[in-house]
Amino acid sequence: MEPKMLLLTKQLKGVREIIVSRRKRKDFEVVTEEWLKYKKNTVKKSTYYNYSYSVAKYLYPSFAGKNITKIKNYNNFIEELSDTLSPKTVRDIVTKLKEIINFYEEEHNTKLNIKKMSLPKMNKKEIQILSNKEKQKLEKYNTENIFNKRDNGKIKKLEKYCIEQNSLKSLGILICLNTGLRVGEVCALRWENVDFETRRIHVEKTIERIYSKEENKTIVIIDTPKSITSVRTIPINSKLYNILKQIRGKSKKTDFVLTGSSEHYVEPRNYQYHFKEILKRNKVKKYKFHTLRHTFATNCIEAGMDIKSLSEILGHADVSITLNIYVHSSDKAKRKYLEKI
């Protein structure tokens, strides 16, 4: 055999040995890296980045370098997480941990002897919604921020193609109050997603800031929403339709609704700051931006909308999610009906 060929054969043998060695290794980190590679090809980019972040921040500090088959009890780890993190966050991390363990078991056709994991209980929190007075305040302020008022009190439309950025940002709050869009979804909304003929909004994208393991920093991505059911169509009520129709103007179809530009968007984090400022100006107590979505959903239930329709509008993966979050919100309506008996 020629020297060059002999050298190449040895190199290939060495590579094979390394690969076999890594496969035989049972280090938690090696198993997790293989799991991440598998996940990268099966989940959304944002989901993959979320997995990578959880692994690097929570799992590696505790388990990197350890033999996955020798770890019999994860409950001390779970207890430590529970001291500083919410039950939901802990459950999300443990779900990823279980997936890694299941991945190893399937790859090696084995069953690890692990003590049952004790998960923290989820305390069902009562959702916050805007009162009617607070909702009216926000609607009034944001409508006036989109339109100028004449001295006689009539609303004058701003020049359609010269609307200030702040005014367009105010439009986003009105959209969320009337459609239940998530903050990332309204930030990603373009005029091509607003169908004036059928009076519908098509939700196809969301903007997220996520941690990139490869770049070791957070990055902003525009991707499909969180689930298949989040890609949806939402009817536009007359109030919102009239506002959208008036300010659409000469904006291009590819322009983002909140900026009037096809290149520049509003990042969700910045939009939430804007929302807080508007609450402060209107002397409305502090709320999270998601409160707009809760307010919309609760108003729909109290108006008599059936749960299935609401679930589809909100983009929930299952009707049970809508029921679990909002079913208690109709107590007011129930009492109203019971008083009539």
162 band by pLDDT with thresholds 50, 70 and 90 = very low
pLDDT beyond 90 at 272: yes
Residue-wise pLDDT for 205-229, tens only, equals 999 988 777 777 788 888 888 788 8
17-108: CATH class: mainly alpha
Which residues, other chains included, contact 27 with Cβ-Cβ below 8 Å and sequence gap of 6+?
Answer: 64, 65, 66, 67, 68
Residue-wise pLDDT for 8-44, tens only, equals 555 555 545 554 454 456 899 999 999 999 998 888 8
% residues pLDDT > 70 (the chain) = 80
Provide mean pLDDT across the span 115-123. Answer: 80
Give the CA dihedral 333, 335, 336, 341, nearest 10 degrees.
130
pTM to 2 decimal places: 0.69
pLDDT value of position 163: 33
pLDDT value of position 327: 63
pLDDT value of position 207: 93
- Whose CA is closest to 258, among 269, 268, 266, 246? 266
Count each helix (H run) and each strand (E run) in the chain, helices first: 15, 7
% residues pLDDT > 90 (the chain) = 33
State which of 150-159, 278-287, 288-297, 317-326 shows the largest mean pLDDT: 288-297
User: Where is pLDDT greater, at 128 or 182?
Assistant: 182
State how far the Cα of 147 lies from the Cα of 155, in Å rounded to an integer.
Answer: 6
pLDDT beyond 60 at 339: yes
Provide mean pLDDT across the span 183-191. Answer: 95
Residue 82 identity = S
Which residues, other chains included, contact 6 with Cβ-Cβ below 8 Å and sequence gap of 6+?
Answer: none
User: Domain 132-338 carries which CATH code?
Assistant: 1.10.443.10
State which of 18-22, 126-130, 275-279, 304-308 shows the largest mean pLDDT: 304-308
103 band by pLDDT with thresholds 50, 70 and 90 = very high
Residue-wise pLDDT for 58-70, tens only, equals 999 999 889 999 9
**Cβ atoms 30, 22 nearer than 8 A:** yes
pLDDT beyond 50 at 189: yes
pLDDT value of position 340: 67
Residue-wise pLDDT for 245-254, tens only, equals 888 877 899 9
Provide mean pLDDT across the span 287-304. Answer: 88
Mean pLDDT of the chain: 81
Provide mean pLDDT across the span 159-182. Answer: 69
Burial class (CB in 10 A: 0-12, 13-18, 19+), 206: buried
State which of 16-20, 118-122, 249-253, 260-264 shows the largest mean pLDDT: 260-264
pLDDT value of position 11: 55
pLDDT value of position 151: 33
In the chain, where are the structural domains located? 17-108, 132-338
The lowest-confidence range among 58-62, 81-85, 91-95, 332-336 is 332-336
User: Where is pLDDT greater, at 141 or 102?
Assistant: 102
